[in-house]
């Protein structure tokens, strides 16, 4: 996930006819998820940080019983990661 912070995660609505379809949310379920390469590219393009969300779901009770959201890469770290991995390709 990408975001300005943990309460402003980037989300996307492909049916948004009024704009780019991108908006910010504090709900990780609504936030757009990316593969690491996509996340790093978008993070550097939009100057956002990369977050990881881990949820444990109880299938019997049909609810999330544990969740964690943490910063995986700052924007600066994402830029550096992109440089390192682009030159090795």
User: What is the token pair recorded at 68?
Assistant: 């964690």
pLDDT band per the 50, 70, 90 thresholds, residue 89: very low
Q: In whole angstroms, how far apart are CA 19 and each of 27, 30, 41, 65? A: 21, 18, 21, 35
pLDDT value of residue 87: 63
- Asked whether 50 and 40 are in contact (CB, 8 A), the reply is yes
pLDDT value of residue 77: 93
pLDDT beyond 80 at 14: no
**Per-residue pLDDT tens over the stretch 20-40:** 788 899 999 899 999 888 998
**Per-residue pLDDT tens over the stretch 46-64:** 999 999 999 999 999 999 9
């Amino acid at each position: 996930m990408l975001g300005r912070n943990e309460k402003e995660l980037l989300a996307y609505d492909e049916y948004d006819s009024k704009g780019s379809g991108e908006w910010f949310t504090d709900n990780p379920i609504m936030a757009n998820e990316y593969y690491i390469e996509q996340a790093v590219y978008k993070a550097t393009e939009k100057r956002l940080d990369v977050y990881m969300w881990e949820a444990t779901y109880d299938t019997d009770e049909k609810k999330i019983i544990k969740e964690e959201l943490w910063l995986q890469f700052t924007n600066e770290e994402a830029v550096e990661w992109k440089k390192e991995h682009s030159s090795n390709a």
